[in-house]
């Protein structure tokens, strides 16, 4: 599968069943994903794998006042066979700003989703109540400063391989910064005209 096909056939899969990657396979794929762009090579993240009966403990975790328990967000959906919890573990006060560390974590996660997809596994990144549940940091023994960025639910989609999607129109998302614009910004319109 070429890279473009892999990217445009990946979908966030809401229904996931067995099989899932073993812990060893997850480690292998993560070692690939960990080569994603990461300023300072800090790897400011870690994963907690939750399988089997342990998944129920997440569902039972105390929810924020007024909301339902964590779960999958919809009682009609089965629990995914593997929930990989993404923990952001930033280096406070580091010369690499925190937003860049967060960007590195997101790059790694997308790479992992693509590697899972290339092996025939489905995944979906879920946030929602999981990230706001007041009981989860203690339940997961998160260290001070660590933050749950969600669950990467992993398994196999019963729907099988997806069609290529039409490519979105991104023409309004790109502009070209021209030399004359740079001159105008630096010196005003007169010099910009001279430069032309």
Ligand X SMILES: Cc1cc2nc3c(=O)[nH]c(=O)nc-3n(C[C@H](O)[C@H](O)[C@H](O)COP(=O)(O)O)c2cc1C
Q: Tell me whether residue 38 or residue 153 sits nearer to ligand X (CB atom).
A: 153
- Ranked by CB distance to ligand X, the top (closest) residue is 12
Q: 43: closest CA among 56, 33, 34?
A: 34
From the list 38-46, 55-63, 122-130, 133-141, the region that binds ligand X by CB under 6 A is 122-130
Residue 10 CB, shortest distance to ligand X, in Å, is 7
Site for ligand X in 138-157 (CB under 6 A): 150
Site for ligand X in 150-189 (CB under 6 A): 150
Query: 25-53 burial by CB neighbour count: b if 16+ within 10 A, else e?
Result: ebeebbeebeebebeeebebbebebbeee
From the list 84-92, 118-126, 134-142, 186-194, the region that binds ligand X by CB under 6 A is 118-126
Among 5, 12, 35, 181, binds ligand X (CB under 6 A): 12
Region of 136 on the Ramachandran plot (φ > 0 left; ψ -120 to 50 alpha; else beta):
alpha
From the list 33-41, 48-56, 121-129, 173-181, the region that binds ligand X by CB under 6 A is 121-129
From the list 21-29, 44-52, 62-70, 123-131, the region that binds ligand X by CB under 6 A is 123-131
Q: Tell me whether residue 13 or residue 38 sits nearer to ligand X (CB atom).
A: 13
The sign of the dihedral angle between the CA atoms of 32, 33, 38, 40 is negative
Residue 103 touches ligand X, criterion: CB under 6 A:
no
Among 55, 83, 117, 126, binds ligand X (CB under 6 A): 126
**What is the token pair recorded at 42?**
């800090």
**C-alpha pair distances (Å), 171 with each of 5, 126, 178, 181:** 21, 29, 17, 20
- Rounded CA Rg of the chain: 21
152 neighbors 92 (Cβ within 8 angstroms): no
Among 9, 11, 17, 96, binds ligand X (CB under 6 A): 11
* 93 vs 101: CA distance, rounded Å: 12
């Amino acid at each position: 599968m070429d890279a473009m096909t892999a990217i445009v056939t990946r979908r966030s899969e809401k229904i996931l069943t067995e099989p899932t990657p073993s812990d060893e396979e997850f480690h292998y794929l993560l070692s690939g994903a960990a080569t994603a762009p990461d300023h300072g090579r800090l790897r400011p993240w870690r994963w907690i794998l939750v399988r089997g009966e342990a998944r129920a403990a997440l569902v039972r975790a105390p929810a924020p006042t007024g909301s339902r328990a964590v779960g999958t967000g919809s009682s009609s959906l089965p629990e995914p066979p593997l929930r990989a919890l993404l923990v952001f573990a930033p280096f406070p006060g580091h010369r690499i700003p925190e937003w860049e560390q967060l960007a590195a974590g997101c790059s790694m996660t997308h790479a992992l989703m693509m590697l899972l997809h290339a092996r025939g596994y489905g995944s979906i990144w879920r946030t929602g109540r999981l990230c706001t549940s007041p009981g989860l940091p203690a339940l997961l023994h998160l260290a001070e400063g660590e933050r749950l960025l969600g669950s990467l639910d992993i398994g196999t989609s019963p729907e099988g391989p997806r069609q290529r999607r039409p490519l979105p129109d991104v023409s309004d998302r790109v502009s070209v910064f021209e030399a004359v614009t740079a001159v105008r910004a630096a010196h005003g319109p007169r010099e910009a005209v001279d430069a032309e």
